Structure 1
Amino acid sequence: MTTTPVWREIGADPGGPTIALAVDYAATGRPEAAFGDLADGLGAGTALWETVQPPLGAEADFDAADYVDRWLSAVPDRPVGAVLGFCAGGAFAGELAARLAEDTGRAPALLLFDPESPTTLTLYYQYRKVVESLSGVLGAERAAAAAADGDRALAGADGVERLGTELVRIFTGAAEVACAAAGLDEEYAEELTGTYRSFVRYLVAAAQIDRDERWAGAVVFSSATPTSGLNPLDPAARAALVDRELRFDVAHADLLRTPEVAAAVDEVLAGKGAR
């Protein structure tokens, strides 16, 4: 039986005294840069390991603690100098860093990139992105119908958990019909719907974490996209939520592939002794 890994090493390992852990839902073909892009731009002092999602379906009943427990159970056997998180991964990163501090007595540096605590609007936005990206499979009519169904689900939303369940139901129905009409096999449809269900579970679980408590000591790297990360918050709320914020004039999708961001990460890690 093949065992699914919990972490994967990205970038070169310089063999330093500590490693950094990165939390993200990395998916093939997504437009946003990932931690692999950031790793390519970091200096020689950082060994970076990234979370791997559970096998499709295994996450069905996961809550935030289940994700974090899974990651903690398989942390590479080296001291963790820093924990990084992108987007909704920022919520998990704060919890993971806190749990590592409790378990080891040493608090890792916490670096967050456009961090978000998912809301119903987050789920709706991601749903619309997925529907639009699959319009070629769904077809114009089905894509429009799925978008309208998503609009109605948001209007009647009663919390993140219930909206997530409803959006998965809508998407699964639309995708299965579209795949059958296009002559695509059931395996493809199952992978497509299973991946979306997995991503929604990840977002719903991330929403369970108290960002006010877990982000207090974080250094945040913010893009210029108005709807991403801390940008929707007023300046006072942003300042109260984290330790320090560094802003970059780049789009959210490019944040992790921007050389200036990588240089700033190197500087922060070195300053916090996280290498």
Structure 2
Amino acid sequence: MGTLEGLRESDRPPLMMGEQVPNEESWSVISVPTSNSLILGVDFPAAGRREAGFGDLVAKMGPAWSGHGFVQTTLPSVRVSERPAGDFYTEHWMRGGDWDKYEVVAVLGYCLGGVYAAEIAERLAQRQGTEPKVVLFDGQVTDIQLLAAEINKMVALAGPVFSDEEAEQARKRAAEIVGTPSISLVDAAIEIVELYRETASTAFKRIGLSDSRRDEVVQLFETYMSWLSAAVDIDPSQTWKRSLAITSSDYATLEANGAATAVNATKMLGRRISLDTSHADLLRDDSTVRTLLDHVEF
């Protein structure tokens, strides 16, 4: 990879029509660049998810960000048993492409995406000679209890598909996995994926969905588990201290309840602004837009 040290925005050649992203295999376009300036969004986007995404945020920001292109991470499909390291994802996003043509002015991270956003920003600072601003939205860190929580979510969403005994058994098994003495986070994730596959197979069979649809859902879950477990390799603390953290009311509840994902993250945060909105609405709430307009300039 080439170096961009000392290269200013005014030194960069203008973009030509059709040059939308540095690497279209790693980034999806939310707002087409009209200049050399880019904002990056780091998230785990999934169709049909309840939480607002960066597309919602860009739409709410409107003209304020119209001078910048906005691109969002796409996730490689990888099995958790392959044990991808944290830099596997960073390399996926940063490799290839003609980054010389762009000035990345900000890297935004939603939830666990804030961990990866920190490493991306550090690499970009070395390449382009200026550090992008980093903004965290409910920035959290990986914790083994997150894995069990995902099984609990699935059981809750399935509702009456499972009997009370079956639901309890799934929750109990997940707790046993993450509570296994000395188990690594990755090993726990591998077992959680298998438990998810077994549980999803039962649920899908009962509601009449095909095996192919089940496999598609399980693959997405496994991709998510890989993303969660690989983040444990990254220390975002130095970048987070220089970043703006915007947090929701749900995040405050996690802290109050002692959830390690939020408590450990909070210890690393620098400037923080807490908003009275939910985690799901954080990227589409008017208070978030006002906070960005008032506190972030690029």
Question: Do they fold alike, i.e. is TM over 0.5?
Answer: yes
CA shift in 2, pair 1:137/1:196, >3 Å: farther
Secondary structure of the 1:50 match is strand
Q: Is the 8 A contact 1:94 1:215 kept in 2?
A: yes
Distance 1:162 1:134 in 2: 26
The 1-side partners of 2:243 and 2:123 are apart by 15
Q: Could you say what secondary structure the match of 1:257 adopts?
A: coil
Instruction: Please report the RMSD computed on the Cα atoms of aligned residues, expressed in angstroms.
Output: 3.0
Report the CA distance shift for 1:127/1:50 in structure 2 as closer, same or farther (over 3 A). same
Change (3 A) 1:152 1:19: same
Deviation at 1:17, TM superposition (A): 4.1
Query: Who is 2:104 aligned against?
Result: 80
Q: Does 1:133 align with 2:157?
A: yes
How far has the Cα of 1:246 moved from its partner?
1.1
Asked if the contact 1:223/1:252 (under 8 Å) is kept, the reply is: yes
In structure 1, the gaps of 5 or more residues are: none
Alignment partner, residue 7 of structure 1: 27
Match of 2:91 in 1: 69
Aligned to 1:37: 56
The structural deviation recorded for 1:53 is 1.2
**Deviation at residue 267 of structure 1 after TM alignment:** 3.5
Stretch moving more, 38-47 or 166-175: 38-47
**Where do 1:193-208 residues align within 5 Å?**
193-208=218-233
Question: Equivalent residue for 1:184?
Answer: 209
Deviates more, 1:36-45 or 1:189-198: 36-45
Inter-partner Cα distance in structure 2 for 1:81 and 1:217: 15
Secondary structure in structure 2 of the residue aligned to 1:112 = strand
Query: Structure 1 pair 73/231, CA: closer, same or farther in 2 (3 Å)?
Result: farther
Structure 2 match to 1:210 = 235
Q: Secondary structure of the equivalent of 1:176? A: helix
* Inter-CA distance 138–193: structure 2 relative to 1 (3 Å threshold): farther
Decide which of 174, 199, 210 is 1:150's aligned counterpart. Answer: 174
Whether 1:26 aligns to 2:45 is yes
Sort the Cα spacing of 1:66 and 1:229 in 2 relative to 1 into closer, same or farther, 3 A.
farther
2:195 match: secondary structure: helix
CA-to-aligned-CA distance 1:75-112 (integer Å, 9 cap, x gap): 66421000000111010000110111122221100000
TM-score by length of 1: 0.85
Which piece of structure 1 moves more, 50-59 or 85-94?
A: 50-59
Larger displacement relative to structure 2 (116-125 or 86-95): 116-125
The Cα shift of 1:153 comes to 1.8
- State TM-score, norm by structure 2: 0.79
Asked if the contact 2:54/2:283 (under 8 Å) is kept, the reply is yes
2:75 aligns to what? 53
CA drift of 1:183 comes to 3.9
Structure 2 equivalent of residue 254 of structure 1: 281
Q: In structure 2, how many angstroms separate the alpha carbons of the residues matched to 1:154 and 1:58?
A: 16
Distance 2:72 2:87 in 1: 18
**Contact in 2 for aligned 1:101/1:108 (Cα 8 Å):** yes
Match of 1:115 among 130, 139, 143: 139
Gaps spanning 5+ residues in structure 2: where? Answer: 1-22
